[in-house]
Structure 1
Amino acid sequence: MKQAHKTAPGVFIPENIGKPALRALHGEGYQTLHDISRVSAAELLELHGVGPKAIRLLEAALAEQGLSFAEEEEEE
């Protein structure tokens, strides 16, 4: 049975997002979905190798763990 709202800090980033995206995320120190949940999708899209497909896959993986991307901060 799946627990939708339990956060799991040890759940690693799924490898199906692609090697370039994985390299970019690991290069920035993101190792787990919990790490990813601390940044916005827009911030991740700025990384070379992370594209819309990786964001969609990460969003689905985060949702499975009851997590989501951080909210984007508005510029003033």
Structure 2
Amino acid sequence: MSTKDGPAQVGDLPAIGRPATSALMTAGISTLAQVAALSRKELLAMHGVGPKAVRLLEAELEENGLSFAG
């Protein structure tokens, strides 16, 4: 799937950009709860997920009382 063909936003995830969203979808991740099960390092290891996407995800997690895995 080309990143331009993928959705800009999935599930309850914030808008983090198409490449990062596609990377999460490919990994079967579509909710904040699933993101919270991962560490920053695991997210950054995904092709398409960069520091900005991780910052946006972290802010959304915090707003929902969640955090990245240890």
Count of residue pairs the alignment pairs up: 60
Q: CA RMSD in A?
A: 0.9
Give 1:1-76 correspondences, 5 Å limit. 12-15=12-15, 17-71=16-70
Gaps of 5+ in 1: 1-10, 72-76
Stretches of 4+ aligned residues off by more than 2 angstroms: none
- Matches of 1:14 and 1:29, distance apart in 2: 16
Ranked by relative contact order (alpha carbons within 8 Å, sequence separation 6 or more), the top structure is 1
**TM-score, with structure 1 as normaliser:** 0.76
**TM-score, with structure 2 as normaliser:** 0.82
Gaps of 5+ in 2: 1-10
- Give the residue type in structure 2 aligned to 1:13: L
Q: Which structure has the greater CA radius of gyration?
A: 1
